[in-house]
Amino acid sequence: MRNEEFRPERCCFLFGAGRADRAPETSLPEVAVAGRSNVGKSSLINFLLGRRGLARTSGMPGRTQELNFFSVDERLVLVDLPGYGYARAPWEEVRRWLEAIARFVRGREALRGVVLLLDIRRDPSPEDQAFARMVRDAERLLLPVVTKADKVARGQRPGRLAAIAAAIGVAPTELRVTSTKDRLGRGETWKGILAMVEGAAGPAPVGSAPPRALVVAVDGPSGAGKSTVARSLAGRLGWNHVDTGAMYRSIGLKADRLGVALDDDAALEAVCRETRLELGRRPDGTLAVLLDGEDVSEAIREHRVSELASRVSARAPVRAAMTGYQRELGLASPSVLEGRDIGTVVFPDAVLKVYLTASDLERAERRARELELRGEPVDREQLLGDLRERDRADSVRAHAPLRQAPDAVVVDTTGRGVDEVVELLVQLVHEAVGGGAPTTAGDPAAVRELSPVRK
Contact positions toward ligand DC, by CB under 6 A? Answer: 222, 244-245, 248-249, 306, 309-310, 313, 339-342, 390, 394
CA 444 from centroid of its chain's CA atoms? 25
Whole-angstrom Cα distance, residue 250 to residue 289?
A: 8
Minimum Å gap between C-beta 405 and ligand DC is 13
Phi, psi of 400 (to 5 degrees): 45, 60
- Which of residues 64 and 344 has its CB atom nearest to ligand DC in the complex? 344
- Which of residues 176 and 363 has its CB atom nearest to ligand DC in the complex? 363
Kind plus residue range of the DSSP H or E element containing 191: helix 186-200
CA 55 from centroid of its chain's CA atoms? 11
- Which of residues 27 and 228 has its CB atom nearest to ligand DC in the complex? 228
Minimum Å gap between C-beta 144 and ligand DC is 49
- Which of residues 71 and 232 has its CB atom nearest to ligand DC in the complex? 232
Whole-angstrom Cα distance, residue 47 to residue 308?
A: 44
Minimum Å gap between C-beta 278 and ligand DC is 17
Minimum Å gap between C-beta 334 and ligand DC is 18
- C-beta separation of 75 from 61 below 8 A: no
- Which of residues 188 and 256 has its CB atom nearest to ligand DC in the complex? 256
Minimum Å gap between C-beta 169 and ligand DC is 57
- In the three-class reduction of DSSP (H, G, I as helix; E, B as strand; rest coil), residue 339 is classed as strand
Dihedral over alpha carbons 110, 447, 16, 213 (to 10 degrees): 90
- Which of residues 113 and 252 has its CB atom nearest to ligand DC in the complex? 252
Q: What is the DSSP letter of 345?
A: I
Minimum Å gap between C-beta 230 and ligand DC is 10
Whole-angstrom Cα distance, residue 92 to residue 264?
A: 73
Q: How many CB atoms lie within 10 A of CB 230?
A: 28
Whole-angstrom Cα distance, residue 278 to residue 290?
A: 5
Longest CA–CA separation in the chain, Å: 77
Minimum Å gap between C-beta 226 and ligand DC is 6
Minimum Å gap between C-beta 223 and ligand DC is 8
Q: Side chain identity at 320, as an amino acid letter?
A: A
- Which of residues 112 and 311 has its CB atom nearest to ligand DC in the complex? 311
- Which of residues 7 and 304 has its CB atom nearest to ligand DC in the complex? 304
What is the full DSSP assignment across 227-250?
A: HHHHHHHHHHHT-EEEEHHHHHHH
Give which of 308, 314, 319 is closest to 272, Cα–Cα: 319
